[in-house]
Amino acid sequence: MSLSELLRPSGALADVDPQSMPGFDGDVAEAKAALKQIRGELAELQEKLYANGLSGDNRSVLLVLQGMDTSGKGGVIEKVAGAVNPQGVDITSFKKPSDEELSHDFLWRINKALPQAGKIGVFDRSHYEDVLIVRVHGLAPIGEIERRYAAINEFESAYAESGGTIIKCFLHVDQDTQKERLAARLEDPEKHYKYRPGDLDERALWGAYTEAYQIALERCSTDVAPWHVVPSGHKPYRNWAVATLLLEALRDLKLDWPTPSFDVEAEKKRVAGL
Ligand code: AMP
Ligand code: MG
């Protein structure tokens, strides 16, 4: 079974142990080594995707990262997106919407950030915030929030139809792990910049967030854009798992080097004669 199939949500989030390492046969140190082993293949497939994009192939890949504070969205970007050529990756971090963004439909800013042909897009938070924090804090009328699940499914299916592959990851941590990581941020002056006092207010709403995630995972896991629950208590496993999901998706594209649009032999002769 692929890791993608193994990590599909089934039942309650509470039943998934954030310290578990499904699909990985080894310990935490080995997970770190395993990521190193797949970096080469990841980088090669990303380059093929990019090369094909230059010659008219409309395919692209979108990695959506969601999770509570400290779940490791930034860490995954560093280790997984960092494993490939940065020229081929478009990273977008979605913050609290600006006044202009709020004056449009919630998918307006998302649509603008979709990866171009040949690119890997990474969303650090995403349109799901519009059914997560917005639901938890009642930032939009409930009727509007309820409308959004189907709107998201349609939007994602249209992206898939146009050549997009979507990989959605929920980085799953528990409250104890979050507490440890918050405490560690405060202990280390070099990590203070990551700490925001307001994060504790969101932590206090853990139950409401879990419920909102549960609803989103249930209503927005479709065949073309399934969710994955990535146990994220162990950072090396988390990084390996997301990298492997990306690798599986890239392998499924059956990428080859594009055929040159010029006559290679003729060009060799021209270069030899320079
Ligand atoms: P961070 O990812 O830690 O830099 O924080 C970004 C903040 O922006 C988080 O608190 C998000 O919940 C918030 N945010 C992102 N998207 C939205 C949205 N659509 N509506 C409200 N808040 C959002
Ligand atoms: Mg944060």
pLDDT tens for 178-205 read: 999 999 999 999 999 999 999 999 999 9
Evaluate: CB of 254 within 6 angstroms of ligand 1.
no
| pLDDT digits 0-9 by tens, 7-46 | 999 989 999 999 999 999 999 999 999 999 999 999 999 9
Protein residue with least CA distance to atom 8, ligand 1: 95
Q: What pLDDT band is residue 173 in, cutting at 50, 70 and 90?
A: very high
The whole-number pLDDT of residue 239 equals 98
pTM for the full predicted model: 0.97
d(Cα 267, Cα 173) in Å, to the nearest integer? 55
Q: What pLDDT band is residue 134 in, cutting at 50, 70 and 90?
A: very high
d(Cα 202, Cα 147) in Å, to the nearest integer? 24
Q: What pLDDT band is residue 128 in, cutting at 50, 70 and 90?
A: very high
Protein residue with least CA distance to atom 14, ligand 1: 96
d(Cα 165, Cα 119) in Å, to the nearest integer? 11
* Residue 70 Cα to ligand 2 middle (Å): 7
Kindly state the tokens that stand for 45. Answer: 């497939």
Q: What average pLDDT does the structure give for the chain?
A: 97
The DSSP secondary-structure symbol of 198 reads: T
Q: What pLDDT band is residue 111 in, cutting at 50, 70 and 90?
A: very high
Q: For the chain, what percent of residues have pLDDT higher than 90?
A: 99
| Burial class of 99 by CB neighbour count within 10 A (0 to 12, 13 to 18, 19+) | exposed
Q: Which ligand is nearest to the CA of 124?
A: 1
Evaluate: CB of 94 within 6 angstroms of ligand 1.
yes
Q: For the chain, what percent of residues have pLDDT higher than 70?
A: 100
Evaluate: CB of 22 within 6 angstroms of ligand 1.
no
Q: Where are the alpha helices (DSSP H) in the chain?
A: 3-6, 28-54, 73-79, 99-102, 108-112, 133-136, 142-161, 175-187, 199-203, 206-219, 235-252, 264-272
Evaluate: CB of 96 within 6 angstroms of ligand 1.
yes
